[in-house]
Structure 1
């Protein structure tokens, strides 16, 4: 596995990440606690409209001096993590994105990408990452296993952008 800091021209490679996932449970916040609810979604991959938005988001992040790191297997992007370039407060940076291709999940790649981006955040003065996670059980459980906790209270600006997400803080 090769890890590299992406340049703007490489950001469209996001589409090579296999996003498929079978979702059977999602989290909601009830009374300031996580509650699992059975819901079924068969995510077959990227929606083209969604992919366009995410590519534009990465380009904007890149233009703001954000950090975007890719994981490559045989010159194919199979994982990506990105970090905003600024502190939200005196100690927190926002993890912007984390995606790992379907066939590379549960093999430590996500953890490795978080370790790499956490080191970058530390070097920029952060002590924790703010994570706005999709409420899918696998995603939220991944962050909880890393030591993340519910953001209490969540950042109001970020919460308003993604009110259905699970807002977490990960000490680094």
Structure 2
């Protein structure tokens, strides 16, 4: 049984417990106003100390600005992690960033990502957000999940987030 818990800043120290590895058959590119699917056949490795530190460096300020780090736990094992930003985005300043979502390989396709997203959405609604803003990895599995969850392409891309991850696909999730 999976339970979702607030992990706080200390949760970032557990990121390496997540096996993010996967085989990627397709990726998406956004150009000329549309998504284009491209076959790539690539291997995504699990975290390295460098990628953990890079993500920790990116996520810590987000948490310190009112964000939340959630863990999906199976007993004591970390099955997944999600981070909700606390900084307002968008023209109307009514969006919060879903800054991070990973589920460990052995727990995928078991509803773990959905449980994490449900709690992220609940927290964002509690803060009166109208939308989540998601800068998603361009893989078929990530986008397949987000679109099935009800996300759609962002009508306006956040320039700061785009500059950080120019290959990401920018999405929004309506919360109201």
TM-score normalised by L of structure 1: 0.94
Q: Contact between 2:62 and 2:85, CA under 8 Å: does it hold in 1?
A: yes
Q: CA deviation at 1:132?
A: 0.3
Matches of 1:68 and 1:128, distance apart in 2: 18
Corresponding residue to 2:123 among 120, 128, 151: 120
Are 2:20 and 1:19 aligned?
yes
Match in the other structure for 1:165: 168
Corresponding residue to 1:139 among 137, 142, 150: 142
Aligned-residue Cα RMSD (Å) equals 1.3
How many residues align structurally? 172
Match in the other structure for 1:100: 103
Matches of 2:11 and 2:98, distance apart in 1: 19
**Unmatched segments (≥5 aa) in structure 2:** none
Once the two structures are superposed, the pairs formed by residues 1-172 of structure 1 within 5 Å of their partners are 1-89=2-90, 90-172=93-175
**Unmatched segments (≥5 aa) in structure 1:** none
Q: CA deviation at 1:159?
A: 1.3
Q: CA deviation at 1:31?
A: 1.9
Matches of 2:63 and 2:157, distance apart in 1: 25
Q: CA deviation at 1:54?
A: 1.0
Matches of 1:112 and 1:62, distance apart in 2: 20
Secondary structure of residue in 1 paired with 2:150:
coil
Secondary structure of residue in 2 paired with 1:50:
helix
Deviations 1:135-172 (A, max 9, x none): 00110111011111111221122112211100011112
